[in-house]
Structure 1
Amino acid sequence: MSQLEYISGKVFPATFHVSDSADEADITKREVTFLYHNKGEYWFCEPEDKSKRFKLDEVLLGNAVKFLKENSDVTALVWTNDDDEEKIIKLSMPIKMELKVKEAPPAVRGDTSKGGNKIITLENGATLNAPMFISEGDTIRVNTETGDYVERV
């Protein structure tokens, strides 16, 4: 059997006997609001109390950092240890998010040598491939799990 350690994200083998028992981890989901990032630190707050701010490292966030948008709500998995101390172990992004296109090179008629796609920059600085008809100022829907363009909104 394999075990997943949520905090480090590592999988390691484990052997259990019929008589073995294990305590269930106290993990809850809670909404948090992303505020801003600065020098590899990502600052969040409680949605109902903006004065309760905390920071999370980029390593903990993983690929989610690519699509974080200021003042957007995300779901945090919170682990409470035996001393009743809470620790955020993972952030879950919505599967699809709407982001505004900040930069998009103009579509040139007949330029389909690259498969009809071009690289665009979103409002949060993320870049991705999108169809030629997407232009600056458009709002698009992005799949946060794959990082792919889904549709124009």
Structure 2
Amino acid sequence: MAALIDAIDVKRKMYFEFENAPFLCLDFEISTPTARGGQTLVRLKMRNLLTRAVFDKTFKAGEKFKVPDLETVEASYLYSDTDGSYFLDQTTFETISLSADKLGDALGFLLEGVIVQLDKFNGNPIGIQLPQQVELKVQYTEPGVRGNTASGAVTKSAKLETGIEIQVPFFVKEGESIKVNTETREFAGRA
């Protein structure tokens, strides 16, 4: 029998299973009633790991959730085609395929050979966790013009080798490698 978690014990960044799907708790709020006999309620902001949907739901404190059968393995990105993206499990050396809807916008940060954490639910791949930062080369950006800071805009748009566009400081040049924060999609420094 799977272990059970009480709703009141669910905390931020904790995984739990609800309606046969794995969820990640993003935030929680406990409301205790002031009247006698009132029930303690737990409001969870949660992400469905299969659909990536985020929503709020309120539960009674005593409701129970199963601990999901989640496994995270190291995998390296190989390539993408019209059928999906392919990763190589670093332990078993098996090739794992993920469809575009399971990757979301993560594809914009993937280069061949990048190591990611691949999540599996009940043995099936459901998504990836990117590293905090990735190194990407600037494919195109306007040259920085000296004195172009009067408007307060000290950044410019840059297209990176994977096709995504981010704002970079005006001193960044075409062909330069930069670090990009994968969570915020922001410039994190020179590589």
- Short-chain TM bin: 0.7 to 0.9
Query: 2:11 is matched with which residue?
Result: none
Equivalent position to 2:105, from 63, 70, 77: 63
Q: Give the 3-state SS of the residue equivalent to 2:179 in structure 1.
A: strand
Q: Deviations over 1:43-90 (max 9, x none)?
A: 22223565x32321222112322211111110012112xxxxx11222
* RMSD between aligned residues: 2.4
| Identical-pair percentage | 27
Please say if 1:13 is aligned against 2:53.
Answer: no
TM-score (norm 2): 0.65
Equivalent position to 2:117, from 75, 88, 96: 75
Equivalent position to 1:43, from 70, 76, 86: 86
- For residues 108 and 6 of structure 1, the distance between their equivalents in structure 2, rounded to whole angstroms, comes to 44
Give 1 or 2 for the bigger CA radius of gyration: 2
Q: Deviations over 1:7-28 (max 9, x none)?
A: 123446364574x654321112
What is the one-letter code of the residue matched to 1:60?
Answer: K
Q: Give the 3-state SS of the residue equivalent to 2:126 in structure 1.
A: strand
What is the one-letter code of the residue matched to 2:57?
Answer: P
Alpha-carbon deviation of 1:125? 1.7
Q: Which runs of 5+ in 2 are unaligned?
A: 1-41
TM-score (norm 1): 0.79
Q: Which runs of 5+ in 1 are unaligned?
A: 81-85
Query: 1:83 is matched with which residue?
Result: none
Change (3 A) 1:35 1:151: same
